[in-house]
Amino acid sequence: SGCDAVLQRMNRRYDTARFFQSVELLRAHFADPAITTDMIVGFPGETEEEFRTSLDFIRRCGFSAMHIFPYSRRPGTPAARMAGQVPNGVKEERAHRAAQVAAEMEQRYLARFVGRTEPVLFEEQRDGLWWGHTTRYSEVAVESGDGLHNQIREVRLTGVEGATLRGTLFSPAGGAAEETVV
């Protein structure tokens, strides 16, 4: 959650101010760090106002990626006995809204890298493309006739499609290699 009242009910040992301070510290010391988080929506007692506060907070943090899931009641836990259990439909709707915000933030984060050349570790070939990850764990897809499995290659990043960066293999002698982006 990105709401202090909900974090207190969760018995978290931090608040949003401390969390945001950590985010800012990372940004002050590293260039374009990939800052990711998990978010539980629909914790017992979460009001619409508290949820909107959480959305505002995650926007402020500008995460590069998020894992969002609805709270699930677990027998024997203190939260399972709390009043104010949020209905499943409300939890699902909030998870969907949070996922939309997360997708927008991820798009903005990935767009920063378009035009840059980054090292990519290629892991698999599927659908006619080679897939890998940057040092910030951003997914990249390129066309290549070469076998790239377990190779680290420089890639000129040319665009964003969904949660994937697209690019071309970079050849130091002459710029981008002949492979093109799909």
126 and 90 in one domain?
no
Spatial contact of 54 and 6, defined as CB atoms under 8 Å apart: yes
> Is 181 among the domain residues?
no
For residue 155, the number of C-alpha atoms closer than 13 Å in the C-beta half-sphere is 33
> Is 182 among the domain residues?
no
Q: How many folded domains does the chain comprise?
A: 2
pTM above 0.95, yes or no: no
129 and 102 in one domain?
no
> What confidence category does residue 179 fall into, taking pLDDT thresholds of 50, 70 and 90?
very low
Query: Can you say how many angstroms the Cα of residue 62 is from the centroid of all Cα atoms in its chain?
Result: 9
Phi, psi of 178 (to 5 degrees): -70, -20
> What confidence category does residue 176 fall into, taking pLDDT thresholds of 50, 70 and 90?
low
> Is 61 among the domain residues?
yes
49 and 82 in one domain?
yes
Domain of residue 93, CATH code = 3.30.750.200
Give the residue numbers spanning the domain of 167: 117-176
Domain of residue 151, CATH code = 2.40.50.140
Among 66, 88, 111, residue at a domain's last position:
111
Residue 172 in this model has a pLDDT that exceeds 70: no
107 and 57 in one domain?
yes
Torsion of CA 139, 140, 144, 146, to 10 degrees: -50
Higher pLDDT, 181 or 146: 146
List of residues 6+ apart from 117 with CB closer than 8 A: 154, 155, 156, 157, 170
pLDDT tens digits, one per residue of 67-118:
999 999 999 999 999 999 999 999 999 999 999 999 999 999 999 999 999 9
94 and 166 in one domain?
no
> What confidence category does residue 120 fall into, taking pLDDT thresholds of 50, 70 and 90?
very high
